[in-house]
Structure 1
Amino acid sequence: MSVGTILLIVLVLILVGALPAWPHSRSWGYAPTGVLGTVLVIVLILVLLGRV
């Protein structure tokens, strides 16, 4: 597996983990997921372009 694939898998797992599912994190809204989603899209584009 390449480093880009491993990075992509880790970012997807972090993105799922950032969903506000617990009572203490519901007040955060979707901000953590939005930030991680943006990072995931950027990394995905870089992987597809062959830069990572």
Structure 2
Amino acid sequence: MLGMILLVVLILLLIGAFPAWPYSRGWGYAPTGTLGLIVVIVVILVVLGRI
């Protein structure tokens, strides 16, 4: 249950990290890439049953 909530929150953060505003376009893919990596790690942990 906790893993599913964490996964949903991380996916929402990933969607929110896309550079959609002019001031955030200079950030590049760092926010999205970092959150994407965290989502992948959480998915692997959920599949393995660690969370």
Q: Normalising by the residue count of structure 2, what TM-score does the alignment of the two structures yield?
A: 0.97
Detail structure 1 runs of 4+ shifted over 6 Å in the superposition: none
Give distance in 2, aligned partners of 1:25 and 1:51: 35
Q: How does 1:30-41 map to 2 (within 5 A)?
A: 30-41=29-40
Q: Root-mean-square deviation (CA), in Å? A: 0.4
1:15-48 alpha-carbon deviations (Å, 9 max, x no partner) = 0000000011000011100000000000000001
Structure 2: 5+ residue stretches without partners: none
Aligned to 1:13: 12
Give distance in 1, aligned partners of 2:32 and 2:17: 6
The one-letter amino acid paired with 1:34 is G
